[in-house]
């Protein structure tokens, strides 16, 4: 299995809702990432998990809450989002933590989130 699987593919939620995005990989990768991508822009890093521990939080608002239950799963819990949070949310994984030598990430297909 060489894929990163994200669910759901599309999500519409109200500003008072609570929802979760899920990401799964079975490649044995020990680093997993959440990115946010706005239209026609490059992905922006949100969180990095290394060996199931949160290693980087890029000053993301607390209405986004990541969770790594085990080495294969990564969740992003959403609560009280704003319309400007509407974007494509991408999960990615890599064999090991970020270091000098990087052979690239495997990305999922993303969750298209719309906040109404």
Question: CB of residue 3 vs another protein: minimum separation in angstroms?
Answer: 10
Rounded to whole angstroms, how far apart are CA atoms 78 and 25? 21
Rounded to whole angstroms, how far apart are CA atoms 77 and 5? 17
Report if residue 26 touches another protein, rule: CB under 8 A.
no
Residues with Cβ within 8 Å of residue 83, at least 6 apart in sequence? 15, 115, 116
Question: CB of residue 23 vs another protein: minimum separation in angstroms?
Answer: 11
Rounded to whole angstroms, how far apart are CA atoms 103 and 68? 23
Question: CB of residue 16 vs another protein: minimum separation in angstroms?
Answer: 27
Distances 26 to 3, 43, 74 between C-alpha atoms, Å: 8, 23, 12
* Piece of 12-20, 68-76, 77-85, 86-94 that binds another protein (CB under 8 A): 86-94
Report if residue 76 touches another protein, rule: CB under 8 A.
no
Report if residue 22 touches another protein, rule: CB under 8 A.
no
Chain residues in the site for another protein (CB under 8 A): 4, 6, 40-43, 45, 88, 90, 92, 98-110, 112
């Amino acid at each position: 299995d060489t894929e990163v699987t994200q669910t759901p593919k599309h999500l519409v939620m109200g500003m008072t809702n609570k929802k979760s995005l899920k990401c799964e990989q079975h490649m044995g990768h020990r680093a997993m990432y959440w990115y946010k991508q706005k239209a026609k822009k490059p992905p922006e890093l949100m969180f990095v998990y290394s060996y199931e521990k949160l290693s980087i939080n890029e000053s993301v608002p607390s209405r986004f809450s990541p969770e790594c239950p085990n080495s294969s799963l990564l969740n992003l819990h959403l609560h009280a989002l704003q319309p400007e949070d509407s974007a494509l949310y991408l999960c990615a994984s890599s064999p090991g933590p970020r270091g000098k030598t990087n052979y690239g990430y495997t990305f999922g297909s993303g969750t298209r989130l719309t906040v109404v």
